[in-house]
Amino acid sequence: MVVAGGEDEAPIDWDILTFSLTPTDTMYLSQIRAGEAWKSGDLKPYGDIPISPAAGVLNYGQGIFEGMKAQRTPDGEIVMFRPDMNAARFESGARRLGMPPVPKDIFVDAVKAVVAANARWVPPGGRGALYLRPCLWGSGGILGVAPAPQFTFCIFACPVGPYFKGGMTPISLKVSDEFHRAAPGGQGGIKAIGNYAPGMIPSMDAKKDGFSEVIYLDAVEHRYVEEVGAANFFCVKNGTVHTPKLTGTILPGVTRASVCQLAKDMGMDVKEERLDISFALTADEAFCTGTAAVLAPIGKIQHGARVVEFCKGEVGATTRKLYAALTGIQQRQLPDKHGWVMSVQQARAKL
């Protein structure tokens, strides 16, 4: 199937973009029955999808998703950042939830096709990105607790601005002592849809108190840092970069892995470890990472009655350095020695 990407400018003011839903022209859809192999799907106009009220995703939460971005370089080229890592995480999540994994080549080709078909919605360089949401869910109806008899692979896209208002302005976080994101042996290490609804109330409560998000601690000892809402946590002390190690309860973020590598490239010592909140509060600076957040500096953390400010509320030197390196590579303004950036043809999307 061939769909033109469109050359006309999208009807949107790029300068007021927020991280919110703006429907675009085209989405991708593929469906298979249990036992069938995935094949290339179709590009369709963005719109609602009929689904059985007995669908596995609605009744038992059998679903995963990914978050990715496409953006323009200063010379107008459209690129994506490490889609192979998203494909691998998508495969892992599908296996954990009893769904047929989408092969890497089909996943990457489908994402590139959606970007090309929605090329006019990719903001100019430095003014936002096209956010991509690949989803896989059990769409077939089933009554017993078991994998669905049918599965749907869908990708939609929308132009977005910064996840946290203010861009590189330091954010304030509140440690949650009441709620936990995930428990050992569960599904915290995959991007399962069921991981996110429980975090809505803690996040909303934190924002009512003037914070941007919450920091979750581990569910066993209630002392080790896990994640910042839907982002990975980092802190820097005496020149060493610290981040929670992947124990199965923390999402293996694509941006997280990239920042760890960039810090090592710069000669920094990087420690992936069980990160005690008491240690984190003594750090010189802190930040969080994610596809949506990119790299957000942390200016203040409140844990109980204790409030700690980092870098006098300013962006730390290491945070700024890593942000500049990451975004420079993503926008092809710096050398991409690891081969992380993939070009997307803007002409026609072909499946």
104 is catalytic: no
SS3 156: strand
Angle CA(237)–CA(243)–CA(249) in degrees, nearest 5?
155
Residue by residue, DSSP assigns 299-314 as EEEEETTEEEESGGGS
Phi-psi region of 61 (alpha: psi -120 to 50; beta: other; left: phi over 0): left
Would you tell me how many other CB atoms lie within 10 Å of the CB of residue 193?
A: 18
SS3 174: strand
DSSP letter at 293 equals: T
Residues 6 or more apart in contact with residue 221 via CB below 8 angstroms: none
Among candidate residues 174, 191, 237, 321, the one labeled active-site is: 191
Would you tell me how many other CB atoms lie within 10 Å of the CB of residue 119?
A: 25
Say if residues 98 and 147 touch (Cβ distance below 8 Å). yes
Residues 6 or more apart in contact with residue 8 via CB below 8 angstroms: 120
Which amino acid type is present at position 124?
P
- The residues carrying an active-site annotation are 191
